[in-house]
Amino acid sequence: MERVTIDVVSDVVCPWCYLGKARLELAIAEVQDELGVDVNWRPYQLDPDATSEGSDYRTHLVAKFGSAERLDQMQDNLRGQGQEIGITYRFEDIKVRANTLDAHRLLHWSRIEGQDIQDRVATALFKAHFEKGLNVADHQVLLAIAEQCGLDPALIGNLLATDADKDTVLSEIDAAQKMGVNGVPFLIFDGQYAVSGAQTPDVLANALRDIARMKAEARKGMI
């Protein structure tokens, strides 16, 4: 059975990234008997200028999208698409425009413990922001997520209190931007093939099958 690695460049305050994660999970479930998939979560910041304390979420987004009407239309669209796959967006509960650097540091540390742990942390961060309206820049929120996902909260707390791995996360974001990533989610398959946006499960499943087939054919050609 061939294995395909997907590096998912995303931000935990990106609603399309949350939708994309759920759709990717459906795609992986569809092909699980045909090929293996390894997923790594890579950092990106849509709003790197947000302060760690945060500012008003809706005010910022209205300014970003140009009008309250346009923002509401986009969020209603996301609510509808989310409901189809089990996501309940509660945009009205999100009060804080959060800086996500520390959330990405938590994802970085969780990857050291294994892809399953990192995936669990990614889900918990998305859910905390979009379904519970929590501030994902708040260290207490991050510590609760760490403990919930099987990480040592004391260790994570000590790391969060320092600048540990901030440069590492920022350099990964810089590398993604230099590759041409200017929007997320952005999926990189086996370091070679890219898919941008929250694609539907059938598109992702077919991409996985195509790449696995190409790998199998290339392997045969080497024999």
Give, to the nearest 10 degrees, the angle between helix 115-130 and helix 139-148: 130
* Residue entry with tokens 């590398």: 175
pLDDT score of 223 more than 70 = no
Grade residue 172 by pLDDT with cuts at 50, 70 and 90: very high
What's the pTM value of the predicted model, to 2 decimals?
0.96
CA 89 and chain centroid, separation: 15
63-102: per-residue pLDDT in tens?
A: 999 999 999 999 999 999 999 999 999 999 999 999 999 9
94-140: per-residue pLDDT in tens?
A: 999 999 999 999 999 999 999 999 999 999 999 999 999 999 999 99
Grade residue 191 by pLDDT with cuts at 50, 70 and 90: very high
Grade residue 10 by pLDDT with cuts at 50, 70 and 90: very high
State the fold for domain 3-222. Glutaredoxin (3.40.30)
In terms of C-beta density within 10 A (0-12 exposed, 13-18 middle, 19 or more buried), how is residue 219 classed? exposed
For residue 188, the surrounding DSSP H or E stretch is strand 186-189
Among left, alpha and beta (phi > 0; psi -120 to 50; other), residue 165 is left
Q: What is the model's pLDDT at position 53?
A: 76
Give the closest residue to 169 by CA, choosing from 82, 104, 112, 106.
104
